[in-house]
Amino acid sequence: MSDSVFGRSQVERESALLTELTELTEHHRAHSVQYDRILASLGIERGRKFDRLADLPWLPVRMFKTHDLKSIPDDEVFKVLTSSGTTGAGASRIYLDKEAAAVQPRMLGATLREVLGGKRLPMLMIDTISIIKNRRSFSARGAGVLGMANFGRAHVYALDENDQPDVEAVKGFLEKHGGEPFLIFGFTFMVWQYLYEVAKEHKLDLSNGILIHSGGWKKLIDIAVDNSEFRRRFAEDTGLTQIHNYYGMIEQIGTVFLEGPSGNSLYCPDFAEVIIRNPDTWEEQPVGEPGVIEVISTLPRSYPGHVLLTEDLGVVHGIDDGDWPGKRFSVLGRLPRAEARGCSDTFSGAVA
């Protein structure tokens, strides 16, 4: 596919992104006093050139929970996104201008088109419509459902208003659309509980489905279902084999790291990259060595979120040796709280 966003080899990616991200770092310095102050406190002078992506200065993702960081004037703020706040941390606030708000869904669409094709498919949502009805208490889950709804049509919700499986609605959807490709979206644990278990019990055929799912695995790991088992059981019991997990966060809205067709590895679109860092030295880890995930994207222009150290652990499995070019990696889970705090404390003095 000529317009694929999974086309750059690792060498091509490093070269192209380094130029763009160096320019983006200068852009944010020029437009965000706080960001400039942070880099100055780290001894990084303006106009500095970087030899590789791993040398770019990162911000801990937690800083967006504690500081208002934006690279646009107040009168150009078009939309403020807030994450679901975790205990004691508050919510991230992400500032978008009109251009950023338009780029985000376009690049998300370009990424998902790799597995969905160019047509909007009938869509089965593994959620309840009430999640998007109450805009006042709009959650990250609701935002995810609403954002993904744009990529489908003829939406049917698999849960009723009381969060109970609506088996008849799912059967009706499959009778109407199950003979052609259709899109399924949901959060990983809900997909297991309200789609897999229901489909198995009622012997539903999901073989033409394309499942896009995301979210924590903790509840599934607790019942001994990892990613391989998830895929195996869906294939054996429902016929569903086109399954794509993804990794993304509101602090880099529009950038998602997508699971390839073979499963068990996530890939970077051409405008993004991941670096795995040693939590003791912050040096880049070699292939096969786990560490803290840093996410890099050229999309954030309205706020300095282009190079972020997450609070997740991950590992790179290989480079230019998978379904798509570039790094293939896995997310291993969250950092222990104390370690996460340690990496954000590095910066606490810089923005006081």
Interior CA angle at 117 toward 111 and 119, to 5°? Answer: 115
Token digits of residue 282:
């912050």
SS3 38: helix
Neighbours of 40 (CB within 10 A): 13
321-348 average pLDDT score: 73
Q: What is the pLDDT of residues 84-136, one digit of tens each?
A: 654 445 788 888 889 998 898 899 999 999 999 888 999 999 988 776 665 54
Q: What is the pLDDT of residues 155-165, one digit of tens each?
A: 999 998 888 99
Check residue 250 and give its pLDDT. Answer: 83
Mean of all residue pLDDT scores within the chain: 88
The strand pair at 307-319 and 121-128 is best described as: unpaired
pLDDT-derived band of residue 341, with 50, 70 and 90 as boundaries?
very low
CB 153 within 8 A of CB 125: no
Token digits of residue 188:
């990983």
Token digits of residue 121:
């498919």
Examine the pLDDT at 232 and tell me if it is beyond 90.
Answer: yes
Distances (CA, A) of 299 to 21, 24, 251, 314, 339: 10, 9, 11, 22, 28
Pick the closest to residue 96 from 79, 74, 115, 109 (CA basis): 79
Does 173 or 333 have the greater pLDDT score?
173
Q: What is the pLDDT of residues 287-315, one digit of tens each?
A: 999 999 999 999 999 999 999 999 999 99
**DSSP for residue 138:** -
258-287 as b/e, with b when 16 or more CB fall inside 10 Å?
bbbeebebbbbbbbbbbbbbebeeeebbee
d(CA 134, CA 125): 17
Does 83 or 207 have the greater pLDDT score?
207
CB 86 within 8 A of CB 286: no
Distances (CA, A) of 283 to 274, 276, 278, 336, 343: 13, 8, 5, 19, 13
Check residue 84 and give its pLDDT. Answer: 62
The strand pair at 242-247 and 182-187 is best described as: unpaired
Token digits of residue 61:
């993702």
Of all residues in the chain, the percent with pLDDT exceeding 70 is 89
Q: Which helix H or strand E contains 115, and what residues bound it?
A: helix 98-116
Instruction: Specify the pTM.
Output: 0.88
